[in-house]
Amino acid sequence: MPTDTMSLALIAAALIGGYLLGSIPFGVIATRLGGAGDVRAIGSGNIGATNVLRTGRKDLALITLLGDGGKGAMAVAIAWILTKEAGPGAQATLTALAGGSAFIGHIFPVWLGFKGGKGVATFFGVLLAAAWPVGMLAGATWILMALVFRLSSLAALTAATLAPIYVFVVDRPYPIAVLAVVMAVLIFFRHRENIGRLLKGQEPKIGGGKTPEPQDPA
């Protein structure tokens, strides 16, 4: 019979397992194995797909994008499977904990001295797995903003801002709303330099020329 109770062991597994999974630095792994060097010594020094693309290797950037998004989705999926016999409240809570931990793991990975990416790909992966309509709406928001303004960071910030609202629009459980809010706050924190350039009108556009301070939303 379904129950909304969870053991401390299950909660710890979601937090620790999600974090360790999210800490896997796919950008660093892909560039090193692909012979492109250390992505942290290229462009902005970020480990996300946007900076990996600056190596000139679209294949490695795609691997990074899928890896970073996939690890967030996998953390949520594993938590969902482990709570199949639990009630909807327990399942929503554990998937939110696992997804949030994976997101934090990407931003602050233990393997890289807690210096990671900006979390956008993992943000979308987590949302698509935890509440796919919210993930689709957030993704559509990113695409629309990117097409109109050609500013990747602005698109990411807008998608992050609207994600919690989308959770309520599609009537998803409260823990998923909290998850969306936490991820949005951290995305804004990691994009604080981008925000400064946006306010000054100095943020480079998608497909634009190189600048001394390239944007990197991933």
pLDDT tens digits, one per residue of 43-77: 888 999 988 988 999 999 999 999 999 999 999 99
Length of the chain: 218
Question: What does pLDDT average to over the chain?
Answer: 91
3 DSSP β-pair partners = 86
Asked if residue 208 has pLDDT above 70, the reply is no
Q: Is 23 helix (H, G, I), strand (E, B) or coil?
A: coil
- CA of residue 154 relative to chain centroid, distance: 15
Residue spans of the domains in the chain: they are 8-200
Whether 139 and 159 have beta carbons less than 8 Å apart is answered as yes
**pTM exceeding the 0.85 threshold for the entire prediction:** yes
pLDDT at position 218 over 90: no
Phi, psi of 212 (to 5 degrees): -60, -25
pLDDT of residue 99: 98
